[in-house]
Structure formats: structure tokens, C-alpha cells
Structure 1
Amino acid sequence: MANTKWVIDPTHSEVTFKVKHLMISTATGNFKVFQGSVETETEEFTKVKNLKFKADVKSVNTNNEDRDTHLKSEDFFNVEKFSEIEFTSEKFDVAAGTIEGKLTIKDTTNLLVLMLDFGGVVVDPYGQTKAGLTANGKISRKEFGLVWSAVTEAGSVVVGDQIKLGAEVQFIKQA
């Protein structure tokens, strides 16, 4: 039997991140432009493989134009040279609730394990079959070359190292 392809529905999906700011509060952001797909061995959303995801780093949004400009600069993502963040799965286990794969930010690739909450499969009012899932994980930004840092006069770190990642995703089954 042929594999079934599913693509992310960006209208009903979001990809977010959270990081400590001044170590007293959390700054939240997202990527407005992203795409992804998976394959399943059957028409059901089981035995998932080949998850591929890309986020356009130029679309980073923290609701603060100055901060977004700084994130796009050489201090952080360096979007002129590295315009995408990529994730490719190596193991996708719906039953165990985990996705393991390679995350690439800038020119650095590391293993990432995401915790998965599978929401199920449903046919929407337009006849499209959709699968929903929530994925969460965390990375050290410094392990991906995002090493810019500053310290306040009082000695507080401006940006924390740990980044919490989150995704609320709907996939659309392709004909």
C-alpha cells in the first residue's frame, strides 16, 4: 500500500517559543510563515514517518519590532545567511507520545526530542480529513550558536539560555 501524505494547514496551526527575559518574566514569540508534511503508512494517522518542517526565520514575531529586528540580526538568527529553521524526524511514535529528530538552526544541527499529544483525526465541514497534534520541547539556544548575551547593571542576564518550543498543528490528508 502506498504512503499517505499529510501537509500542515497553516491557518489552523502555530509554532511558538518562550524564553526568560531578565530572568523575571517570559517573552513569547512565533513564526508566522512555516510549512511541513508527514507520511503515514496507511490512510490513518498511525505509523507516521518522514516529518519535515521548515520555518521562515524572517517571519519571527514577538510583538516588538525592535526585538524582532534584533532576532533577525547576526547576534541571533542572521537571516541574511540562514533564512530557515528545519526539523526532520527520525522517530515519530504517536503511541509513546514522542517525536525525535534533527533540528537545524543557522549552521548547527542537534537532536531534539518533542513530547507529543495526539488530538485525533476528524473530517471537517468541507470534507477534508485532518489530524491534530500538540508538540512541546526545549533547547539550549547556545547549543545552536545563538550566543548573544548581555547583563544588566544589577547583574541579571537579559536573555535566558533555555528556549521552550511549542507547536499546535493540524495536518490535512492529501488525495
Structure 2
Amino acid sequence: MTDSAIPQSELTGSYTIDPAHTRIGFSARHAMITKVRGSFNEFEGKAHVDGDDPSRSRANVTIKAASIDTRNEQRDGHLRTNDFLDAPAYPDLTFVSTAVEPLGNDKYRLTGDLTIKDVTRRLSIDFDYLGAARDPFGNLRVGFEGSVPIHRKDFGITWNAPLETGGVLVSDKITIELEVSAIKDTEDEAASA
């Protein structure tokens, strides 16, 4: 990982995802013609970034299923039921990385295990590294953006409703959309100072 303003050696360390400046979102096709977008409002995550050898980096994220938000209370209530996420029985969605592969030009492939409703599937997410900067409070931040399609039936989420015109109400394919800002932990900052 390279950045003209921040020396590579300063990037190495542990980071905490900043929920105030991070979006964990998704989009799904609705009624075969439009997209519904949503996000999760409660999550936490940690990462270890190795600036010299990105393949040694890793990350993990825990998302609260009940925090799903599509800006429609009735739909969100349905998404929290057993038809979809079953938030009371499975309160957390988790992702634990298993590998990071540099792809060149500030692009990285993060592979790991995504668990939804006690079903774990391996997936790979391609990320763009957006750079590193010091915020006005002196924190070292790194930014990444990425997305990956998944199929909800792979996680046992199969509820749907047929349409009179053919097709179904909700697409099986869901695109996960990630915009991540992470702050280097202060202990690592002190060590690299």
C-alpha cells in the first residue's frame, strides 16, 4: 500500500472501523424492475494492516442484524423475521478474513468467511484502497471501497412472492456495498512515532 503523504511504514498496525464514517450497505432488485438499497446501522470491526506485505493483513467485522435499515419500517420489520435474517435467533452477521491478495493499482482482494443465520460461505471482495490521511484530531485513517454479489439462497434465505406479471418480488442476488474508514489504534500510533 502506498500513499504519497503517509510513509508506508506508518500504515502497519491495528485499526478500528469508524462506524460514523463507514457504510455497510446492500442493494437488491425489487419487483424485477427497481433496486432497494439499505444498510446496517450497528457494526464493529478490526483490521490489521501490513503496509510492507499486504498479504499479511486481516480483518473481521460483526454486524447487528436488527440494525438493518431500508428507510421503510414495515419492510425492515419483515427483514428481521425468520423469512430473512431472523435477528432474534441470529443477532450477528460476521465476516472473518482468511487472505488478502494485492491486485495492483491500489486494488486488493479480501477473501474470508461470511456467516449469516449460522450458514458460513467463503467469498472474495475486491477493494480499492483510497489512501491514508491524518484527520483534524491527529488520527491516522485509511479508506477502502468494495462490493461483492452474494446469493441469499446460499445462506438459507429463500422467502419470495411471485408477481402476476412473472418473476418474483425480491431478487436472489444481493450486492454488498462497503465504504470503510478505519482509524489506527493509539497504541500502534505511539509505537510508530
TM-score by length of 2: 0.84
8 A contact 1:14–1:30 mirrored in 2: yes
8 A contact 1:48–1:93 mirrored in 2: no
Distance in 2 between residues matched to 1:64 and 1:77, nearest whole Å: 16
Overall identity of the aligned pairs, in %: 32
1:64 and 2:72 are equivalent in the alignment: yes
1:166 and 2:148 are equivalent in the alignment: no
Distance in 2 between residues matched to 1:153 and 1:8, nearest whole Å: 44
Counterpart amino acid of residue 59 in structure 2: L
State the partner residue of 1:107: 118
Distance in 2 between residues matched to 1:6 and 1:93, nearest whole Å: 19
8 A contact 1:19–1:28 mirrored in 2: yes
Runs (5+) with no aligned partner, structure 2: 1-11, 187-193
State the partner residue of 1:27: 36
Deviation of 1:39 after TM superposition, in Å, equals 1.0
- Matched ranges for 1:136-151 at <5 A: 136-151=147-162
Distance in 2 between residues matched to 1:7 and 1:135, nearest whole Å: 18
Counterpart amino acid of residue 91 in structure 1: A
Distance in 2 between residues matched to 1:13 and 1:86, nearest whole Å: 16
Structure 1, residues 17-75: CA drift from partner, whole Å, max 9, x if none?
00000110101110001110111345x79455230101101000001111000000011
Distance in 1 between residues matched to 2:26 and 2:53, nearest whole Å: 26
SS at 1:153's partner residue?
coil
Distance in 2 between residues matched to 1:124 and 1:48, nearest whole Å: 26
Distance in 2 between residues matched to 1:111 and 1:72, nearest whole Å: 23
1:93 and 2:101 are equivalent in the alignment: yes
**Which structure dedicates a bigger proportion of its chain to helix?**
2
8 A contact 2:147–2:177 mirrored in 1: yes
Counterpart amino acid of residue 62 in structure 2: K
Taking only aligned residues, the RMSD between alpha carbons, in angstroms, comes to: 1.6
Deviation of 1:155 after TM superposition, in Å, equals 2.2
Correspondent of 2:83 among 63, 75, 78: 75
Distance in 2 between residues matched to 1:94 and 1:144, nearest whole Å: 28
TM-score by length of 1: 0.93
Distance in 2 between residues matched to 1:133 and 1:16, nearest whole Å: 14
State the partner residue of 1:5: 14
8 A contact 2:54–2:100 mirrored in 1: no
State the partner residue of 2:163: 152
Distance in 2 between residues matched to 1:109 and 1:13, nearest whole Å: 24
Deviation of 1:115 after TM superposition, in Å, equals 1.0
Distance in 2 between residues matched to 1:40 and 1:153, nearest whole Å: 50
8 A contact 1:48–1:94 mirrored in 2: no
**Bigger radius of gyration:** 2
